[in-house]
Amino acid sequence: MTVKALGKRRISNPHSFRKASPGDKALDVIIWVLVIFAVVVTLYPFLYVVSVSISEGSAVARGDVLLFPKGFSLDAFSMVTTNKQLWISYGNTFFYTIVGTLANVVFTCLGAYPLSRSHFFLRRPMNFYEAFTMYFSGGLIPTYIVVTGIGLYNSRLAMILPVLVSAYNLMICRSAMSSVPQDLFENAALEGANEFYMMTRIAVPLIKPTLAVLTLYYAVARYNDFFNAMLYLGDTNLQPLQIFLRRVLLQASNEVLQSAGGQAAAAAAENTLKIRYVCIVLSAVPIFVITPFVQKYLVSGTMLGAVKG
Amino acid sequence: MTVHAQKTRKPLGTLIIRDRHLLLMFLPVFLYYLIFAYLPMVGLVMGFEDFKMGSGFEGLFTSKWVGFKWFSQFFSSPFAFRLIRNTFLLSFYSLIFGFPIPIIFAVAITQLRSPRVAKVAQVITYLPYFISTVVVVGMMTNFLSPSTGIINQLISKLGGKPVNFMSDPSWFRKLYVISGSWQSFGFNSIIFVAAIMGIDPSLYEAMEVDGASRWQRIIHLIIPGISETIILLLIMTLGNLLNVGFEKVYLMYSPAVYETGDVISTYVYRQGIENHKYGYAAAVGLFYSAVGFAFVVASNRLARRVTGSSLW
């Protein structure tokens, strides 16, 4: 079921608010307060960050910005966007996100398809082989030894290979492929199609909605991946945006100010905070732009995860 | 799930030839799990060894065997209790405060008289879930900064004394739980909204004919209608109870708040990656994995008993 269903099906009482009993009216008020509170609490931090990022530096320093921007200044934006490291990080993140997500989806399909074929003679042992990794892991240290041991330290592959296939997503993909009508495969087999053909021409096209959700999950995970970068990428030329953000937001790195150069001390102090908030804005833009487009698939995707056959 | 029994037993060679395409497809995934999941499990052996990094992966087989030395060292250290307590409490509080909010929100949003507002509210409240941990912790840290943060600026304006939230151990768990809830309540409500929408509409009509109020409808129809979803998710959450996200704690904490903020996974990171005590860190990690495994198996048993379905 998609979120659209919310709009189509009214669960709410057909009686109007005016005719409602006092108890029902009170309930309506409580519901409105709850929902409005939830929306305000969710949005406020983002609006505040955007407002600070475009306000006058002096107003920000005085603490005058509470919700709406005070004055208008794009100083911080120009400082951040002229920073070389930001664009290197941004470029790296896009590389890891695009190549990583593509690899994730391709290998998830390759793994899920055989497991969805009921006649595959290794189906049950391989299902277990894959699912067991969700419940027990070697943990941080042995994984670190393995990943660095096979030479992935300071390699772009360290952002892709160790997180190639998520067992959970593999299970979702497998369930979706299992629900494809079996006669489609049988007919294709009678006409001489091999398994590769059946996967790419029958299974994959029929589970597009599921793949859309998996692509979203994978892409967000690759875009936000901080952990692997922190462990395996020491070279700043390979590091993704999240590492840059951590330095600026959490480790009080003033690299952006320094590289902007020629700043009076006072202006620098005013701009430190603004620069941080500009970085947040720039990093969140792709997520805010893309997520609403895929959200109609979210419900079915989440349900798939929870209700497995 | 249907189980197709293999009635006629074919020789292995025939099966391999018949399923060669499927085997070829699965091979990369097989190798992936072998290298990145099962090899590290073998690597846990280093928890019983005096492993040195210089010895590389072969060091696993050549390092000196020390038995349970690292385990007894960990459990006799003052850190063991603190780490286990912190790990448990962070999860426990996240569960207690984080679990009911998506349910309440889902009920509210489906009972809203304006479906359009409900839809917009849903889309907005999903968003934080997709924001990175670095940004969430970055926003929190900057909002709470004693000098430039908006919260402390407001406190000062109201005549209060600035609070150094991020380096106060008594605030760590609260901040962890609140920010976690903020980030995930909208997303986690999706499944409950879907469950509520799945309730048979004729039941609503029947209740209306009987003259039930909307309160009664929530208590006697909606809550029971989604109780199975609630119980199943609760059990699954319990299974991951000790699975505290390393990343968020790591980004939030500092030595000043180790007392309440240091958890097993961050301790393993510091001991292993930063202090190069690989054997010791792997031993602590093994203990953590084993306890986590026990929780998952137990919760899965419970889920099977309650619903008849299982995750295995």
What was the pLDDT predicted at A262?
Answer: 57
- Measured between alpha carbons, how far is residue B233 from residues A179, B203, B264, B306 in Å? 23, 24, 25, 12
Residue B212 lies in a domain: yes
What was the pLDDT predicted at B310?
Answer: 47
What's the per-residue H, E or C state across B211-246?
CCCHHHHHHHHHHHHHHHHHHHHHHHHHHCCCCCCH
Q: Residue B252's domain spans which residues?
A: 71-130+183-307
Task: Find the Cα–Cα–Cα–Cα dihedral B217, B218, B221, B225, rounded to 10°.
Answer: 160
Sign of CA dihedral A32, A38, A39, A40: positive
Residue B162 lies in a domain: no
Burial code of A21-60, b = ≥16 C-beta within 10 A, e = fewer?
eeebeebbeebeebbeebbeebeebbebbbbbbbbbbebb
Residues 6+ apart with CB under 8 A from B212: B220
Of the candidates A211, A198, A121, which has an alpha carbon nearest to the alpha carbon of residue A170? Answer: A211
Label residue B236 by pLDDT band (50, 70, 90).
confident
Average pLDDT, stretch B271-289?
Answer: 93
Ordered alpha helix ranges (H), chain A: 4-8, 22-54, 57-62, 75-81, 84-116, 123-135, 140-149, 167-178, 182-190, 195-198, 204-206, 208-224, 227-232, 241-245, 255-260, 265-306
On the question of pLDDT at A306 being above 50, the answer is no
Task: Find the Cα–Cα–Cα–Cα dihedral A63, A68, A70, A74, rounded to 10°.
Answer: 110
Model confidence pLDDT, tens digit, residues A96-115? 999 999 999 999 999 999 99
What CA–CA distance (Å, rounded) separates A245 from A251?
9
Please report the residues numbered 134 through 163 in chain A whose beta carbons come closer than 8 angstroms to any beta carbon of chain B: 135-147, 149-150, 161-162
Residue B60 lies in a domain: no
Tokens of A213: 């959700």
Q: How far apart are the first and last CA of chain B?
A: 11
Residue B43 lies in a domain: no
Residue B113 lies in a domain: yes
Number of domains, chain B:
1
Q: Which residues of B touch A128 (CB under 8 A)?
A: 312
Q: Which of B38, B111, B150 sits opposite A48 (nearest CB)?
A: B150
Q: Which of B23, B29, B53 sits opposite A165 (nearest CB)?
A: B29
Residue B278 lies in a domain: yes
Model confidence pLDDT, tens digit, residues A34-84? 999 999 999 999 999 999 988 887 777 777 788 888 888 888 888 888 888
DSSP assigned state of A307 = S
Tokens of B250: 């790591």
Tokens of A102: 């593509």
Residue B175 lies in a domain: no
Sign of CA dihedral A164, A168, A171, A177: negative
Identify the closest residue of chain B to A138 by CA–CA distance.
B41
Identify the closest residue of chain A to B271 by CA–CA distance.
A141
CATH number at residue B236: 1.10.3720.10
Q: Is the ipTM of this complex over 0.85?
A: yes
Residue B100 lies in a domain: yes
Give phi and psi for A296, each to the nearest 5: -65, -20
What CA–CA distance (Å, rounded) separates B296 from A172?
19
Q: Widest CA span of chain B, in angstroms?
A: 83
Model confidence pLDDT, tens digit, residues A122-174? 999 999 999 999 889 998 999 999 999 899 999 999 999 999 999 999 999 99
Looking at the DSSP assignment, which residues form a beta bridge with residue B65? B49
Average pLDDT, stretch A185-198?
Answer: 92
B130 Cα to chain A: minimum distance (Å)? 6
Identify the closest residue of chain A to B283 by CA–CA distance.
A141
Q: Which of A41, A110, A131 sits opposite B182 (nearest CB)?
A: A41
Q: What is the pTM of this model?
A: 0.89
> Is A276 in Cβ contact with B138 (below 8 Å)?
yes
